[in-house]
Protein backbone atom coordinates (compact mmCIF):
# COMPACT_ATOMS: atom_id res chain seq x y z
CA UNK A 1 0.00 0.00 0.00
CA UNK A 2 1.40 3.38 -1.02
CA UNK A 3 2.02 6.15 1.50
CA UNK A 4 0.53 8.87 -0.73
CA UNK A 5 -3.03 8.47 -2.01
CA UNK A 6 -3.89 9.04 -5.66
CA UNK A 7 -7.09 8.21 -7.54
CA UNK A 8 -6.51 5.09 -9.64
CA UNK A 9 -7.89 6.70 -12.77
CA UNK A 10 -8.71 10.05 -14.36
CA UNK A 11 -9.98 11.00 -17.77
CA UNK A 12 -10.80 13.91 -20.02
CA UNK A 13 -11.51 14.78 -23.62
CA UNK A 14 -8.95 16.43 -25.90
CA UNK A 15 -8.61 20.11 -25.11
CA UNK A 16 -10.04 19.77 -21.63
CA UNK A 17 -8.19 20.08 -18.32
CA UNK A 18 -7.83 17.30 -15.79
CA UNK A 19 -6.49 17.47 -12.24
CA UNK A 20 -4.95 14.55 -10.34
CA UNK A 21 -4.75 14.74 -6.56
CA UNK A 22 -2.12 13.30 -4.24
CA UNK A 23 -2.84 13.23 -0.51
CA UNK A 24 -0.20 12.65 2.12
CA UNK A 25 0.37 13.54 5.74
CA UNK A 26 1.98 16.12 7.99
CA UNK A 27 5.21 14.10 7.69
CA UNK A 28 5.60 14.48 3.96
CA UNK A 29 3.49 16.73 1.71
CA UNK A 30 2.28 18.77 4.67
CA UNK A 31 5.80 19.36 5.90
CA UNK A 32 7.87 19.95 2.76
CA UNK A 33 7.35 21.87 -0.48
CA UNK A 34 9.19 19.05 -2.20
CA UNK A 35 6.52 17.28 -4.22
CA UNK A 36 7.41 15.88 -7.62
CA UNK A 37 5.36 14.28 -10.39
CA UNK A 38 6.32 11.64 -12.95
CA UNK A 39 4.77 10.52 -16.22
CA UNK A 40 5.24 6.91 -17.29
CA UNK A 41 4.34 5.26 -20.58
CA UNK A 42 3.93 1.47 -20.77
CA UNK A 43 7.25 -0.33 -20.75
CA UNK A 44 9.21 2.89 -20.20
CA UNK A 45 10.93 4.50 -17.26
CA UNK A 46 9.14 7.34 -15.46
CA UNK A 47 9.93 10.91 -16.54
CA UNK A 48 10.09 13.88 -14.18
CA UNK A 49 7.54 16.54 -15.15
CA UNK A 50 7.17 18.63 -11.96
CA UNK A 51 9.52 19.20 -9.02
CA UNK A 52 9.35 21.37 -5.89
CA UNK A 53 5.55 21.43 -6.20
CA UNK A 54 5.25 23.61 -9.30
CA UNK A 55 8.52 23.80 -11.23
CA UNK A 56 8.94 22.25 -14.66
CA UNK A 57 12.19 20.77 -15.95
CA UNK A 58 13.41 22.02 -19.28
CA UNK A 59 11.41 20.53 -22.13
CA UNK A 60 8.21 19.86 -20.19
CA UNK A 61 5.25 21.72 -21.75
CA UNK A 62 3.58 24.42 -19.68
CA UNK A 63 0.34 22.47 -20.08
CA UNK A 64 1.57 20.56 -17.01
CA UNK A 65 1.31 22.46 -13.74
CA UNK A 66 1.49 21.61 -10.06
CA UNK A 67 0.17 23.02 -6.83
CA UNK A 68 -0.15 22.14 -3.16
CA UNK A 69 -2.52 22.92 -0.33
CA UNK A 70 -1.87 21.59 3.15
CA UNK A 71 -1.40 17.82 2.79
CA UNK A 72 -2.64 17.53 -0.79
CA UNK A 73 -0.70 18.15 -3.98
CA UNK A 74 -2.27 18.38 -7.41
CA UNK A 75 -1.15 17.96 -11.00
CA UNK A 76 -3.18 19.71 -13.69
CA UNK A 77 -2.89 18.83 -17.35
CA UNK A 78 -4.43 21.54 -19.51
CA UNK A 79 -5.34 21.29 -23.19
CA UNK A 80 -5.35 17.50 -23.06
CA UNK A 81 -3.78 15.70 -25.99
CA UNK A 82 -3.92 12.04 -26.97
CA UNK A 83 -0.21 11.72 -26.27
CA UNK A 84 -0.76 12.68 -22.61
CA UNK A 85 -2.35 9.29 -21.95
CA UNK A 86 -0.04 7.63 -19.41
CA UNK A 87 0.37 6.75 -15.75
CA UNK A 88 1.20 9.60 -13.38
CA UNK A 89 2.90 9.25 -10.00
CA UNK A 90 3.42 11.77 -7.22
CA UNK A 91 6.28 11.69 -4.77
CA UNK A 92 7.26 13.69 -1.71
CA UNK A 93 10.41 14.06 0.28
CA UNK A 94 9.72 12.88 3.83
CA UNK A 95 12.90 13.95 5.61
CA UNK A 96 16.05 12.05 6.62
CA UNK A 97 16.88 11.18 2.99
CA UNK A 98 13.65 9.24 2.53
CA UNK A 99 10.97 9.59 -0.15
CA UNK A 100 7.41 8.33 -0.53
CA UNK A 101 5.30 7.72 -3.61
CA UNK A 102 1.66 7.54 -4.56
CA UNK A 103 0.09 4.47 -6.10
CA UNK A 104 -0.27 6.09 -9.51
CA UNK A 105 -3.13 7.42 -11.63
CA UNK A 106 -3.93 6.16 -15.10
CA UNK A 107 -4.92 9.10 -17.29
CA UNK A 108 -7.19 8.28 -20.21
CA UNK A 109 -7.83 10.74 -23.02
CA UNK A 110 -11.32 10.01 -24.26
DSSP-assigned letters across all residues of 33-71: S-EEEEEE-TTS--EEEEBTTTB--TT--TTEEEEEETT
Provide, rounded to whole angstroms, the least separation between the CB of residue 15 and another protein: 29
Number of residues that bind another protein (CB under 8 A): 25
User: What does DSSP say about strands 105-109 and 9-12: parallel, antiparallel, or unpaired?
Assistant: parallel
- Binding flag, residue 106, another protein (CB under 8 A): no
Residues 22-41 that bind another protein (CB under 8 A): 32, 34, 36, 38
Applying CB under 8 A, which residues contact another protein?
2, 32, 34, 36, 38, 45-48, 51-52, 55, 57, 89, 91, 93, 96-104
Amino acid sequence: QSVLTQPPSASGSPGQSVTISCTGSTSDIGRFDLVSWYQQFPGKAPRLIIYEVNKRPSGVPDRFSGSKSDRTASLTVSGLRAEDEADFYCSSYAGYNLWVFGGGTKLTVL
